[in-house]
Amino acid sequence: MKHFTTLALSGAFALSFGTAQAQTAWDMPTPYGDSVFHTQNIVQFAEDVAAATNGELIITVHSAGSLYAHPEIRDSVRRGLAPIGEILMSQLANEDAVFGVDSVPFLAASYDDAKKLWDASRDEVTARLAEQGLTLLFAVPWPGQSLYLTEEVTALDQMKGVSFRAYNTATERLAQLMGAVPTTVEAGDIPTAFSTSRVAAMITSPSTGVSSQAWDFVSHYIDTQAWLPKNMVFVNTSAFEALSEAQQQALFEASVTAEARGWQMSMAETEEKIAILKENGMQVSTPSEDLAIGLREIGETMANEWKASAGDVGVAILSAYTAR
């Protein structure tokens, strides 16, 4: 069941007046379904905000792209059609390479490294969102990205010509370097894309694998843990500044809690979801030596490409990351 409001709001937020004080109601579009831990974390975040503001700020979560489709969410918040939203950070990498730093294969392939990379890049991400009239609240990673295939693959040569699901710039480039054919497919469309042969392979988290019931259309899961891409939550800066100082502080404090909780949820999710993939008959393995070598070479290529596209800022981020 998707989260939604029973009354449509005509603007970015509506004010309804009670006997004691005004209530600000925000609609929040998110791209993933209610069973996904990111959505569950955001629902708890909304509850925390409501409690901390004594009901003065109410956030209604519209999950699974039910209010705006994933590619539309950033612009809907920027234009004030929705005051707050969630997207995959690397979805904006085509506009600015900084947004794709967490999707460079094997640059940060563990939670510890992913956290260090986020600490090194957060200020730059925040600054770039601010230029768009957006205020960053928090970001939470997906479990590590791994390969889903319809047959066993032990070398990159086997990927040539295979239709490969892409969901951002990094996965598109990864497919190209593999010799595969990148095909854009949103998370909610994965089962249909496989069943209609639009794609025959993908790299994604065990969370998405389980939520899409990957065992119905693929047989092999290779645990590459290539990178940990993040979802980020941001608010329209004008809508944020319209809040009282107490409400702003409550929103920021709830965001700190949501980020910490979300990272813990993500870590717990990894083992749990891989176990479910096994229980449903998928062959779970680690990469063969040949495949691992080929993937590392692709990772090195993509890291160099990212650094070149990000320029001096990219060099500074990587220097800060390696120094931590």
Q: Could you tell me the residue ranges of all domains in the chain?
A: 13-89+113-142+229-273, 146-227+283-323
CA distance 282 to 284: 6
Q: Which portions of the chain are predicted below pLDDT 70? A: 1-21
**26: which 2 tokens?**
């925000």
> Considering the domain 13-89+113-142+229-273, what is its CATH architecture?
3-Layer(aba) Sandwich (3.40)
Contact 83, 239 (CB under 8 A): yes
3-class secondary-structure state, position 227: coil
Give residue-wise pLDDT tens across range 19-43: 345 899 999 999 999 989 999 999 9
- Give the residue from 273, 231, 272 showing the smallest Cα distance to 42: 231
Q: Which amino acid, residue 300?
A: E
Do 146-227+283-323 and 13-89+113-142+229-273 have the same topology in CATH? yes
Residue 10 to residues 25, 27, 122, 184, 317: CA-CA distances in angstroms? 11, 11, 33, 32, 41
Chain centroid offset of residue 163 CA: 22
In sequence order, what DSSP letters do the residues of 140-161 get, joined into one string?
Answer: EEPSPPEEEESS---SGGGGTT
What is the CA 147 to chain-centroid distance, rounded? 17
The superfamily (CATH) of domain 146-227+283-323 is Bacterial extracellular solute-binding protein, family 7 (3.40.190.170)
pLDDT value of residue 120 = 98
φ/ψ of residue 204, rounded to 5: -160, 180
pTM reported for the whole predicted model: 0.86
